[in-house]
Amino acid sequence: MNPHAKRLQDAIAEIRHRGYFARLEPSSILIETRRLLQDTNLQKSFPVAMLYADWCAHPRLDRTGAGAVLLKITEGLNRDIRDSSNSSIDAVYNAVCSALALRTLQSQLVDLYRRFGVETSALVAPQMFRQFISAILDAIAELPLEFPKDVAQRRGRTRKIYDAACRIARNDPQWIVTHCSVTNKLSDEQLAFYDVPKGTYLWQIGMAAGYFICGVL
């Protein structure tokens, strides 16, 4: 058994026996999953799992994976809001979820673990998966996905992704998504506007024009 898979198997078996995740265990599991993906050269086969694992490991992400997410959200917002005659806030939610879907994270982790003989019961049971996701959101809250500040002066893959976002937005910075984060730090006015209880996590999508905010789940 792959040594990283063995560590995951031992950890998840202990969690299943205990019946719940300790607060820091989900992010540790994703970081070990990242090592497994890198060791087996499977990063491109499980991009959402790799993205969240990177997100848990770094205080901010301005790499290719982050750029790919920002590009995908830029595509969705320009297609479904800017260029649509019947746009709605649901379009923001759909654009973000297509790039960052937590259910996709779950399915990729289950597929990967089954491939390497790691049990998946703790990720399949609904209540335990909710615990897992809550802890991941705690870990990545306020840690942004963003383009590097000097991306326009750079070369390489991230610059190409940024250039693609500029083309989609017709070079209008108000429609280029440059920042994405998850937050539960909302004002009383925002809580009332979005009709959510205090502590709710929401996606925060940033462009030159300001921020879109939409639900995580």
Predicted confidence (pLDDT) per residue in 196-215, tens digit: 888 888 889 999 878 888 87
Residues of the chain with pLDDT under 70: 87-89, 217
Task: State the pLDDT at residue 108.
Answer: 96
DSSP letter string, 13-43:
HHHHHHTS--TTHHHHHHHHHHHHHHHTT-G
Residue among 113, 138, 171, 115 nearest 52 (CA): 138
Task: State the pLDDT at residue 89.
Answer: 67
Task: State the pLDDT at residue 217.
Answer: 61
Predicted confidence (pLDDT) per residue in 39-59, tens digit: 999 999 999 999 999 999 887
- Neighbouring CB atoms inside 10 A of 26's CB total 25
Task: State the pLDDT at residue 49.
Answer: 94
Task: State the pLDDT at residue 87.
Answer: 66
Question: What's the pTM?
Answer: 0.86
Q: Judge residue 44's burial from the number of C-beta atoms within 10 Å of its C-beta, 0-12 exposed, 13-18 middle, 19 or more buried.
A: exposed
Phi, psi for 155 (deg, rounded to 5):
-120, 170
DSSP 45: G
